[in-house]
């Protein structure tokens, strides 16, 4: 029998490796930035064109490479960072697998210029799909410049698989942010299509976070600082009152490497327990320093997952450090950038058991308290006054369902038709949640919140379609600080948001100014809705953009809908019911739950048997 196993040619092996390491432009960004950091650079510039699809270039002032090293760097499993297997257990560099550059060169056109301080001339190399096209000398400053052009030019299937520029750029910005947060002592910049997205001077962590997410973050941060035998925990958590509705800023770094870890995330959530509403998520920028021998970073090709020796203790330490920090934040004086280091929580002494810090401050703080906007609402209801006055006499028109299916057993038409105006007022609220109305065949119960959700949803949808929303100008325009990444995402929604009644301008790179909001919404609700839209976009922009109008209308309607538990006046109830029956689909709210039920006389009489 003939032997059939052969070694793969290098080019093929590299392409296979690239499949793991280089998934998208952002993966290239990550690898190149990490290489620059490992090379001791203090200033790192990232230049990107067309979301990295055309160009990803990293310029650093690191130590550079010799001619031979530059050539070797692009070989597979070529690294200066480890020599033997034991080294894997004391890794302090970002890279070590020695496959990034080889992988990248296998799937792109790569140019590299590099020079060490002590050399007069630099080395210039060009690759195209692993083939070394040219090599020579060049004039170049100390450090390394690597340009990656036309990623996946030789793998059309991968290239076609890339998402829109918006989405790919968001991934790049995510990677950039992670690296920049992990290395606040280095200067970074990111330029996309000639626009400077970030310029972050060297500073401390607090400055870096504010530089990326906006100056507002400065006052939102609560320092965390605990030293134990096995791990040092530092960084910041975000005050509970600034928690986001969906996962916001959640950053874990282990020995300055960004990692994902659901288990440790859970530890933080536990620390925030009772301080957040069930639908809110904690924000954090947490750094763990741990003996490299106690972790395994080599379990994932992009090194974003790691294994800990003693996960349980680390869980307990994280949870108690965060609790401790949250418990202190009210008594901690305002912190400015320079004094950051001066303020820290007393470190745990070696061997001392982990204290379970109690939260003693701010006993009145209750995140479940209704926010002030509920008070504002009591005087006027958007749906009660801002819409055209209902002719409450016209029951026929109001309560005639348009497309009520047979099985709904509404049987409303004959009953409401001969209801006169006087009887119409016999509508009452049950449990401050349901509107009850007797009909000739029985009774009708309307769920006020769901009904209003349906009404507003259809109205917003129509507004988007007709481009005809009424807007109310805010007396005091509101500013929302957002990240450059969020701005990219929301940009293509600005027109739709305007159609729905938002008057939004961008101010610089990280601020939106809200001048006007939809007429049908209160100010607080509008801003919350806007934040939620942003979060949804970040979370799953693909599915959000698939059905833009629906999604926008859904979020706005939910925020605007009158809540269950809210007392209503008779006029309000009449108006609500009337509006509901002019909807296209009155019997369900926009997420498919029933808005109303009927109970027939028969059913009632059965109950008396």
Measured from the CB of residue 304, what is the shortest distance to ligand ADP in angstroms?
15
Q: Are 91 and 82 in contact (CB under 8 A)?
A: yes
Structure token digits, residue 497: 């948001």
Least distance from C-beta 125 to ligand ADP, angstroms?
A: 12
From the list ligand ADP, Mg ion, none, which binds 79 (C-beta under 5 to 8 Å, kind-based)?
A: ligand ADP
Least Cβ distance, residue 155 to Mg ion (angstroms): 21
The least distance separating Mg ion from the CB of residue 554, rounded to whole angstroms, comes to: 44
| Residues found near ligand ADP in the complex (CB under 6 A) | 31, 35-36, 38-39, 60, 62-65, 73, 78-81, 95-102, 144
Beta bridge partners of 527: none
176 binds, among Mg ion, ligand ADP, none (CB under 5 to 8 A by kind): none
For residues 100 and 326, which CB has a smaller minimum distance to Mg ion in the complex? 100
Name which of 55 and 561 has its Cβ closer to ligand ADP. Answer: 55
Let me know: does 600 contact 441? Beta carbons within 8 Å.
yes
Distance CA 451, CA 64 (A): 66
Q: Quick check: helix, strand or coil at residue 37?
A: helix
- Minimum CB separation of residue 92 from Mg ion in Å reads 14
For the stretch 155-162, contacts whose Cβ atoms lie closer than 8 Å and that sit 24 or more positions apart, written own/partner, are: 155/15, 155/107, 158/107, 159/53, 162/24, 162/25, 162/53
Nearer to Mg ion, 103 or 587 (CB): 103
Q: In this structure, what DSSP letter does residue 384 have?
A: I
Q: Give the residue with the Cβ less far from ligand ADP, 99 or 168.
A: 99
Binding part of the chain for Mg ion, among 27-35, 103-111, 500-508, 533-541 by CB under 5 A, reads: 27-35
Cβ atoms of residues 324 and 272 within 8 Å: no
| 35 sits near Mg ion (criterion: CB under 5 A) | yes
| Cα–Cα distance for residue pair 184/429, rounded to 1 Å | 58
- Whose Cβ is closer to ligand ADP: residue 295's or residue 490's? 295
| Tokens read off for 311 | 């996960």
From the list ligand ADP, Mg ion, none, partner contacted by residue 62 (C-beta under 5 to 8 A by kind): ligand ADP
The least CB distance from residue 34 to Mg ion, in Å, is 5
Q: Which of 32/317 has CB closer to Mg ion?
A: 32
What CA–CA distance (Å, rounded) separates 219 from 584?
47
Rounded Cα–Cα distance for residues 210 and 220 (Å): 10
Q: Which are the contacts of 123, defined by CB distance < 8 A and separation ≥ 6? A: 65, 66, 67, 70, 71, 112, 113, 114, 115, 135, 136, 137, 138
Compare residues 73 and 514 and give the one whose CB is closer to ligand ADP: 73
Q: Supply the minimum distance, in Å, between the C-beta of residue 585 and ligand ADP.
A: 56
Using CA atoms, how far residue 557 sits from 177, 261, 551, in Å, is 33, 35, 10
- Select from 64, 95, 240, 248 the one that contacts Mg ion (CB under 5 A): 95
Segment contacting Mg ion by CB under 5 A, of 31-39, 118-126, 245-253, 267-275: 31-39
From 100, 179, 200, 580, residue interacting with Mg ion (rule: CB under 5 A): 100
Q: Applying CB under 5 A, which part among 28-36, 470-478, 511-519, 597-605 lies near Mg ion?
A: 28-36
The C-alpha atoms of residue 111 and residue 127 are separated, in whole angstroms, by: 6
Measured at the CA of 377, the angle between CA 455 and CA 391, to 5 degrees, comes to: 45
Residue closer to ligand ADP by CB (options 75, 523) is 75
Residue ranges binding Mg ion (CB under 5 A): 35, 95, 100
């Amino acid at each position: 029998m003939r032997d059939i196993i052969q070694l793969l040619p290098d080019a093929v092996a590299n392409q296979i490796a690239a499949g793991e390491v280089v998934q998208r432009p952002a993966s290239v960004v990550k690898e190149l930035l990490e290489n620059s950091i490992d090379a001791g650079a203090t200033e790192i510039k990232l230049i990107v064109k067309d979301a990295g699809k055309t160009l990803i270039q990293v310029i650093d002032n690191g130590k550079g490479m010799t001619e031979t090293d530059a050539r070797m760097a692009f070989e597979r499993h070529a690294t200066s960072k480890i020599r033997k297997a034991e080294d894997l257990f004391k890794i302090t560099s970002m890279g070590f697998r020695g496959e990034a550059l080889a992988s990248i060169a296998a799937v792109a056109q790569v140019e590299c210029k590099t020079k060490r301080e002590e050399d007069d001339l630099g080395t210039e190399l060009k690759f195209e799909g692993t083939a070394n096209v040219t090599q020579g000398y060049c004039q170049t400053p100390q450090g390394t410049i690597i340009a990656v052009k036309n990623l996946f030019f030789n793998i059309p299937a991968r290239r076609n698989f890339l998402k829109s520029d918006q989405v790919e750029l968001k991934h790049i910005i995510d990677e950039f942010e992670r690296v920049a947060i992990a290395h606040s002592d280095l200067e970074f910049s990111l330029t996309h299509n000639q626009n400077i997205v970030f310029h972050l001077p060297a500073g401390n962590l607090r400055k870096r976070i504010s530089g990326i997410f906006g100056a507002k973050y400065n006052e939102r941060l609560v320092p965390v600082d605990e030293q134990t035998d096995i791990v040092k925990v530092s960084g910041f958590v975000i005050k509970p009152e600034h928690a986001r509705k969906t996962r916001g800023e959640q950053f874990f770094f282990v020995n300055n490497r960004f990692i994902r870890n659901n288990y440790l995330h859970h530890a933080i959530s536990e620390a925030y327990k009772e301080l957040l509403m069930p639908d809110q998520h904690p924000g954090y920028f947490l750094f763990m320093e741990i003996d490299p021998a106690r972790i395994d970073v080599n379990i994932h090709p992009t090194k974003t997952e790691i294994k800990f020796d003693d996960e349980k203790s680390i869980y307990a330490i994280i949870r108690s450090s965060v609790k401790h920090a949250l418990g202190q934040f009210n008594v901690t004086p305002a912190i400015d950038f320079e004094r950051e280091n001066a303020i820290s929580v007393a470190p745990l002494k070696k061997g001392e058991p982990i204290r379970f810090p109690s939260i003693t401050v701010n006993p009145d703080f209750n995140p479940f308290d209704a926010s002030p906007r509920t008070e504002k609402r009591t005087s006027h209801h958007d749906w009660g006054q801002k819409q055209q006055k209902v002719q409450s006499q016209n029951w026929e028109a109001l309560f005639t369902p348009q497309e009520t299916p047979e099985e709904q057993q509404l049987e409303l038409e004959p009953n409401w038709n001969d209801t006169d105006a006087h009887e119409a007022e016999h509508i009452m609220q049950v449990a401050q949640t349901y509107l009850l109305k007797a009909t000739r065949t029985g009774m009708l119960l309307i769920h006020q919140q769901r009904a209003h959700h349906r009404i507003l949803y259809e109205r917003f949808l129509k507004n988007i379609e007709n481009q005809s929303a009424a807007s109310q100008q805010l007396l005091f325009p509101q500013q929302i600080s957002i990240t450059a990444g969020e701005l990219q995402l929301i940009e293509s929604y600005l027109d739709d948001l305007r159609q729905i009644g938002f008057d939004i301008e961008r101010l610089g790179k990280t601020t939106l100014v809200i001048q006007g909001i939809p007429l049908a919404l209160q100010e607080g609700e509008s801003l919350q809705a806007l934040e939620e839209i942003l979060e949804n976009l970040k979370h799953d922009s693909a599915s959000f953009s698939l059905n833009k109008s629906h999604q926008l209308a859904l979020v706005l309607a939910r925020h605007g809908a009158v809540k269950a538990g809210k007392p209503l006046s008779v006029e309000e109830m009449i108006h609500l019911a009337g509006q509901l029956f002019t909807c296209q689909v009155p019997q369900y709210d926009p997420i498919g739950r029933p808005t109303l039920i009927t109970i027939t006389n028969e059913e009632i009489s059965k109950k008396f048997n």
